Amino acid sequence: MHNIKDIRNDPNQFQESLKKRFLEVDLKNILELDENNRKLIQEKETLEKEKKEISKSKNKELFEKSKSISKKIDILETKQKETKVELDNILSSLPNIPKDDVPVGKDENSNLEVSKSGNVPKFNFKPKSHYELGENLNMLDFDLASKTTGSRFVFVKDKLALLERAISNFMIDIHVNQNGYQEISPPLIASENTMYGTGQLPKFENDQFEIKFDDKNDRKFLIPTAEVILTNMGKDKIFQSDELPLRVVASTPCFRKEAGSYGKDTKGMIRQHQFYKVELVSIVEPENCLNELDRMTNCATKILDLLELPYRKIILSSGDMGFSAEKTFDIEVWLPSENKYREISSCSSCGSFQSRRMKARYKNKKNETVFLGTLNGSGLAVGRTLIAILENYQQTDGSIIIPNALKPYMNNLDKIVKK
């Protein structure tokens, strides 16, 4: 959510900034609504003052007048609220503004590679895809999942189920013991307002799984990422400065409808309705956002270094970034079967965009109450890490070598072989 005061102060700059997102905003309409809103507030406040004075005077002769003022206030207030809602509806559907160093471009074609790391493995045979490998091992079962549930789900079995759990535990341990994150086991369901806080609502309702709940007043959703629930730990809160930075990590299932991605990655477990992800969230003083983004990205790449998986880091272009982000690094892991890098992590700074929606604030050194900075990043997507291990560590016979770092988490197993 943007600060209307900033827009008011420099409307043209605001419009220019949004052009980086390839968005045309009806600036005139926004400014008109804002002006109208303020006019109505002023009229209302004048009447409220008058009413207050009458009530203080306790002058019975003026009581009738006070009643009629109340009626006028009601009318003004209704109008004012409507105007405010209309303004907020527009503002809450506008994405965050990219930082200056974000490459401007419409889509992923304008993303820039920042760095490359690790060695791409050489095979003396044609590397198989993760789903071929998994199905041949009888440890990935997509058919069974479509029978019990539907498309874009999978049964992970036996040693691959263990591997999935091992990946998750390994990552959390690193982030807790080496990277200074606090482990959280959060709710997997979020209220409507929580979803609004991080920017999933109102604009991206189509991609969310809403669930039936007893009460009709409050809508509830399965989290599409732990970012939602972890970032909202700061919701409606004023932090003391000694509570910052807050760094938390959680491994949770994530649920996404993947609306609009029909036909994309239909085979395998690249794009599922349900997947595990280890998520990092930092809540920091806003001026520290970009430093924290670098730190967070390093925490994520460290996992790939330890797993000895080849990857590259890219900076997303203005048009490819998520709604709430002001700057995003994606980390892409090498997938031999596709002969290319695929996203395995996305680390974003959101500046104060989310905190303004959530009302997450803190007291700064001058004792002023200011909105915080929020960041989120995958550290890493568990399912895709499983894929990357299957494909990069595959052997001619279809067996899978376990990366050294994971062996302690796999009961010291060296290799996954077909039974």
Footprint on this chain of RNA (rule: CB under 7 A): 4-5, 38, 41-42, 44-45, 48-49, 51-52, 54-56, 58, 63, 66-67, 70, 215, 217-218, 238, 240, 361, 363, 365, 367-369
In the complex, minimum distance from the CB of residue 375 to RNA, in angstroms, rounded to a whole number: 21
Would you say 96 or 225 has its CB closer to RNA? 96
Give the tokens for residue 100. Answer: 């200056």
Query: 27 or 238, CB closer to RNA?
Result: 238
CB of 276 to RNA, least distance (A): 20
Q: How far is the CB of 315 from RNA (least distance, A)?
A: 32
3-class SS string, the chain: CCCHHHHHHCHHHHHHHHHCCCCCCCHHHHHHHHHHHHHHHHHHHHHHHHHHHHHHHCCHHHHHHHHHHHHHHHHHHHHHHHHHHHHHHHHCCCCCCCCCCCCCCCCHHHCEEEEEECCCCCCCCCCCCHHHHHHHCCCEEHHHHHHHCCCCCCEECHHHHHHHHHHHHHHHHHHHHCCCCEECCCCCEEEHHHHHHHCCCCCCHHHCCEECCCCCCCCEEECCCHHHHHHHHHCCEEECHHHCCEEEEEEEEEECCCCCCCCCCCCCCCCCCEEEEEEEEEEECHHHHHHHHHHHHHHHHHHHHHHCCCEEEEECCCCCCCCCCCEEEEEEEEECCCCEEEEEEEEEECCCHHHHHHCEEEECCCCCEEECEEEEEEEEEHHHHHHHHHHHCECCCCCEECCHHHHHHHCCCCEECCC
CB of 290 to RNA, least distance (A): 23
Cβ distance to RNA smaller for residue 158 or 236: 236
CB of 238 to RNA, least distance (A): 4
In the complex, minimum distance from the CB of residue 42 to RNA, in angstroms, rounded to a whole number: 4
6 or 16, CB closer to RNA?
6
Amino acid letter at 359? Answer: K
Terminus-to-terminus CA distance in the chain, angstroms?
54
In the complex, minimum distance from the CB of residue 55 to RNA, in angstroms, rounded to a whole number = 3
Identify which of residues 43 and 343 has a Cβ nearer to RNA in the complex: 43
Of 4 and 176, nearer to RNA (C-beta) is 4
**Between residues 303 and 372, which has the closer beta carbon with respect to RNA?**
372
Residue 123 or 213 having the CB closest to RNA: 213
With respect to RNA, which residue has the nearer C-beta, 98 or 351?
351
Closest separation between CB of residue 286 and RNA, Å? Answer: 13
Least separation in angstroms between residue 397's CB and RNA is 41
